[in-house]
Amino acid sequence: MTPALKKIRFLSIVFVVCVFLDQWTKELVLRNFYLGETVQIISGFFSLTYVRNKGAAFGFLHSAPESFRAPFFLAVPVIAIFVLGYLFYQLKPHEKLSAWSLSLILSGAAGNLIDRVRLGYVVDFLDFYLPAWGHWPAFNIADSAIVLGVSFLFVQSLFAKKS
């Protein structure tokens, strides 16, 4: 198998697994929770709470006019997916951590884009309370994939050889 086919196979596997888990868990929430419902899993720390996010991370632009928000949150992920795909295509075979990073970010962007196209908002449901910081904004599997991918890129940049 050529290096290019190996890369495509890797991206495809990560993409399918992440998007499937993201969409499956969101569908479970949509079928079993009413908006705002909370089920406590670990008292004082973790709950499942059905939230509709019409903005970006942490509700950014949540209150922007719908005439701006809808096209913006459809266009930006599509552009990001193409840019990430191009960056992934440019990776060398030895750049494994970058491949993981870009695959996770791309998968997360796609998972949230599917929600926006299908529902007009993103389904969030993972709800943590951290005593020192209070309530953390609810998030989902796609958001987790994006954060994990960005974290991998950050760690990689810390240990990159200076040329």
Query: Regarding beta strands 38-42 and 46-53, do their DSSP bridges make them parallel or antiparallel, or are they unpaired?
Result: antiparallel
Residue of 102, 141, 119 lying closest to 17 (CA atoms): 141
In the numeric block, which tokens belong to residue 49?
Answer: 């709470």
Decide if 22 is catalytic. no
How many CB atoms within 10 Å of residue 47? Answer: 19
Residues in the chain: 163
- Residue in 22, 115, 127, 143 annotated catalytic: 143
Q: Which of 22, 115, 124, 127 is catalytic?
A: 124
Q: Would residue 115 show up in a list of annotated catalytic residues for this protein?
A: no
- Which residues are part of the catalytic machinery? 124, 143
